[in-house]
Chain A
């Protein structure tokens, strides 16, 4: 990560195709779902 924030992730044609293809890849979905469920269970003391 550079100091400057790259908020626009600009994809080339090839990268766009790879990104769109990755959307359909569900091979690691158990880990993803577990991560989200674990996160939603966590209770943090937050001061805003």
Chain B
């Protein structure tokens, strides 16, 4: 395996038309993530619906990993009974049904580059973006849907599972509260 990626050795670039030639070589092993990057990411960005960032080594023009961010929301059930839930603070009182979040819509690493820390760097970058937004308009959560086998990676970083997944769910919804 190639060595761990150092902050100084990498560059994060917002996806642009000039990157398109790079994308066909990207293969994270998941067709849905590959297809999204090749076919949807730039179009979504041009439509102001999501933002995609590529992580590359300064020494080589190759997309090692990519991150797509957009806004999302937890939509709470309207018939919930709050009494009895073990919540110390209830900031959700101000939201009738929705709690906004910054959503890590996609985070994928080329399978030949797994284990070098690319996803961790992009996650840090996502947290920086979320904190920037939080500083101007208040944002409590960074959230994502992770494949069940990847949930541990996020939990070790302090993400919490939003709710117990059903047996049929392929993904687990996790969130990170952004305040310190």
Asked if A and B are interacting partners, one says yes
Give residues in A with beta carbon < 8 Å to B: 1-3, 5-25, 28-40, 42-48
Shortest distance in angstroms between B69's beta carbon and chain A's nearest beta carbon?
A: 10
In this complex, which of A37, A39, A48 has the most chain B Cβ atoms within 10 angstroms of its Cβ? Answer: A39
Residues of B within 8 A of A20 (CB): 76, 80, 82, 85, 87, 92
Residues of A within 8 A of B125 (CB): 39, 42, 44, 46
User: Which B residues between 113 and 135 are near A, CB-CB below 8 angstroms?
Assistant: 121, 123-125, 127-128, 131
The total of Cβ contacts below 8 Å across the A-B interface reads 163
Please state if B158 and A24 are interface contacts (CB–CB under 8 Å).
no
8 examples of A-B residue contacts, CB within 8 angstroms? A7-B73, A9-B72, A9-B145, A19-B76, A24-B86, A34-B158, A40-B131, A46-B12
Please state if A7 and B33 are interface contacts (CB–CB under 8 Å).
no
Shortest distance in angstroms between B82's beta carbon and chain A's nearest beta carbon?
A: 7
Residues of A within 8 A of B163 (CB): 11, 14-16, 18-19, 22
Residue B167 at the A interface, CB < 8 A? no
Instruction: Tell which of A16, A31, A48 touches B80, judged by Cβ atoms closer than 8 Å.
Output: A16
Residues of B within 8 A of A18 (CB): 162-164
Instruction: Tell which of B58, B77, B124, B127 touches A15, judged by Cβ atoms closer than 8 Å.
Output: B77
